[in-house]
Amino acid sequence: MWLEMSFDRYRKIIPDWKSFQDSIQGRDPTTIRVRTGRISSAQLMGRLGDQGFSVEAVEGIDSFIRVLEGPFNITDTIEHWLGLFYVQQVSTGIAALALRPKPGEKILDLCAAPGGKTTQIADLMEGTGCLVAVDRNEGRLQALMANIYRLVHSNVMVVSGDGLRLPETSLFDRVLVDAPCSAEGTLRRKSNRRIKESKKFRQSVPKRQEVLLRKAIALTRPGGVVVYSTCTFAPEENEGVIDAVLKDMPVYLEECGLQIPHSPGLTRFEGKTFDESLEKTCRIYPHHLDSGGFFVARLRHQEERGDRACLHKSSGWQDSAVQFPSEKKTGVEVKEVIATGIERMLRYVNGQVDLVSDFNWLLRGKDLWLHGCDQWPSDDWFESKNCRVLSVGLRAMAPVFRDEMRPTNDILRFLERCVSSIAYSPSKEEWDGLLNQESISVSVNDYGFIPLKWKNHVLGRGLIQKGNLKGEIPGVRRRWLKKVFTPGDS
């Protein structure tokens, strides 16, 4: 039996029903989130304005910009290719703001793909601490990692696995559960097409959501924070789920602390009553932010006292290793490889960064990874059959002919402020050739890899050999760059 979503059942709980009805008749405007730390909102708005886009800051929500109109799709800009922004609904940015992550913390994103909330949290952590991003869908995980690498975040550990089966040996300061849901709040993105779902699906979703939330609480240290969110209006998936865990889990609700238009959570619906504290949760309807629908709740894990509290805060975490746990090289071998990689990387950076003290280095196979996680979860996370660690930070150095280490395109973009002084700036004609996979003649005879620059941005890596320069930007990224790039602006 298939059911079509009807919003009439929400007429009594939505204060301004007419505004709600009017708002869902058309698509919501495109909004983007600025990659803070790499560019300011004002700078990005100026650059987009120079290209003919009409943009405005989203009031009350830092780092979000509304795109009112433009000469072409906002994703076809060089700024998007560079990872200077992420296309994201304003409403979905609320979860990370309610979580309020801090630099240096240990944070878990339990349903992370495709990465909008993960990369927003990473921004707020300012590249420090350890953010573990988990998802069980391998296809969506590829999108997650692509977004992490495009936005060059160095403190994210990506894990493939079912969030329900994660080891409970490592406790987190904060956990986000952006739970799979019936997605009623995404109606505007679907051009107002009603979503039909089976009765079985509508009945099973709240059960899985509740189990996920219980797991999140089990993975949170006493005194820590859990944020639960959905993009649906259904109380069964929102207040009903929170009400169930409040009955027997060591958590209580806090105010979300959001200075934006919203409605309080429900304490009763269709004959059912919920805990009075559910008024502290937030319901965001499409007309509130001219965006999608969203629900968010902020839960605090009850604090423990004395020695047990100190134990829980450090429980299950260890200093990050210099080689991936599955690797079997000796300590001497690992140190030699890392030292060689850093020595080669020093050819490209200036004194603005200390490659030894500012970052952590990890050997995996023949590749060197750079990351900002001073600590990571216990060995159970690396050895468990229920989850698999896919990446930690950014792949920094990879071997080529005779195992000579070369810097990756991602690491050159990540360190662009430190490598720009030695980068080569191709002319318009040279960029045309490089993007067509042609070698160009340059007045440099040395052999070696070199950063390629456009304006103040490093786009990737080139190789100079016998006076010829060849671009080494990977194929998919190169073709995308060719589509959006206008070398005449260089």
Helix (H, G, I), strand (E, B) or coil at 387: strand
Give pLDDT, residue 3. 47
How far apart are alpha carbons 140 and 136 in whole angstroms?
A: 8
Give pLDDT, residue 202. 74
| Structure tokens belonging to residue 381 | 């996370």
Element (H, E) at 398: strand 394-399
Q: What is the CA radius of gyration of the chain?
A: 24
Residue 466 has pLDDT above 60, yes or no: yes
For 304, counting Cβ atoms within 10 Å of its Cβ (0-12 exposed, 13-18 middle, 19+ buried), the class is middle
Residues 131-135, mean pLDDT to the nearest whole number = 98
423-490, what's its fold?
2.30.130
Residue 199 has pLDDT above 80, yes or no: no
Give pLDDT, residue 402. 67
Which residues are bridge partners to 86 per DSSP? 33
The torsion angles phi and psi of 283, rounded to 5 degrees, stand at: -110, 125
Domain parsing of the chain, residue ranges:
90-301, 423-490
| Structure tokens belonging to residue 476 | 């998919």
Helix (H, G, I), strand (E, B) or coil at 152: coil
How far apart are alpha carbons 114 and 139 in whole angstroms?
A: 9
90-301, what's its fold?
Rossmann fold (3.40.50)
Residue 488 has pLDDT above 70, yes or no: no
- Nearest Cα neighbor of 489 from 456, 462, 463, 460 is 456
Taking each helix axis from N to C end, the angle separating 199-218 and 239-246, rounded to the nearest 10 degrees, works out to 40
For residues 161 and 219, the answer to whether their CB atoms sit within 8 Å is no
Give pLDDT, residue 445. 67
Structure confidence by residue, pLDDT tens digits, 368-394: 999 999 999 999 999 889 999 999 999
Structure confidence by residue, pLDDT tens digits, 204-230: 999 999 999 999 999 999 999 999 999
For residues 158 and 391, the answer to whether their CB atoms sit within 8 Å is yes
Residues tagged active-site = 231
Structure confidence by residue, pLDDT tens digits, 411-462: 999 999 999 888 999 998 999 999 999 999 998 767 789 999 998 899 999 9
